């Protein structure tokens, strides 16, 4: 089997994402592969109100989320010695953006957590599942344990 050359790690910045990042870094080091990082800010984040209405968050909040995500991504890139050229901050559907960036940049392995904000209720989180079913490259789902 060919060696992996370009690995993309999908980071949601939830508390367990460190394990995903660490595994991606280890695999990249072992294969001497390029490591890239992606974070996707949902384009229309929603607050689901108890009385049944879905309220879109306002545009200022979306801008703030992008700014905060940019800072966190920059910090992570420095920690991992990943150049800014290999850091993607996108807006939209996480699954769709991860698959698109991977395809456009000849990524041959995507690393995701087995779940994130959706918890273990879904054995394989919806993003991990969506990426697995829509990309043509290999996907490594790092199993995250709930406490």
22 is a contact residue toward ligand AMP (CB under 6 A): no
Nearer to ligand AMP, 1 or 87 (CB): 87
25 is a contact residue toward ligand AMP (CB under 6 A): no
The residue count for the chain: 147
- Residue 33 CA: distances (Å) to CA of 18, 19, 36, 66, 94: 19, 19, 10, 28, 23
Nearer to ligand AMP, 4 or 88 (CB): 88
Q: Are 49 and 40 in contact (CB under 8 A)?
A: no
Nearer to ligand AMP, 52 or 56 (CB): 56
Angle between helices 126-134 and 94-104 (to 10 degrees): 40
- Residue from 7, 8, 11, 33 that binds ligand AMP (CB under 6 A)? 11
Positions that interact with ligand AMP (CB under 6 A): 10-12, 20, 38-40, 94, 112-113, 115-118, 125-128
């Amino acid at each position: 089997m060919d060696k992996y050359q370009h690995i993309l790690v999908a980071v949601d910045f939830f508390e367990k994402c460190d394990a995903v990042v660490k595994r991606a870094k280890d695999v990249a080091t072992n294969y001497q592969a390029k490591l890239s990082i992606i974070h996707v800010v949902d384009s229309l984040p929603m607050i689901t109100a108890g009385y049944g209405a879905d309220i879109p968050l306002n545009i200022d909040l979306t801008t703030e989320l992008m700014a905060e995500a940019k800072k966190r991504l920059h910090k992570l890139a420095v920690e991992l010695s990943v150049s800014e050229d290999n850091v993607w901050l996108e807006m939209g559907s996480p699954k769709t953006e991860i698959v698109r960036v991977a395809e456009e940049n000849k990524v041959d392995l995507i690393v995701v957590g087995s779940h994130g904000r959706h918890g273990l209720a879904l054995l394989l989180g919806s993003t991990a599942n969506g990426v697995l079913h829509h990309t043509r490259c290999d996907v490594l789902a790092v199993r995250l344990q709930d406490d």
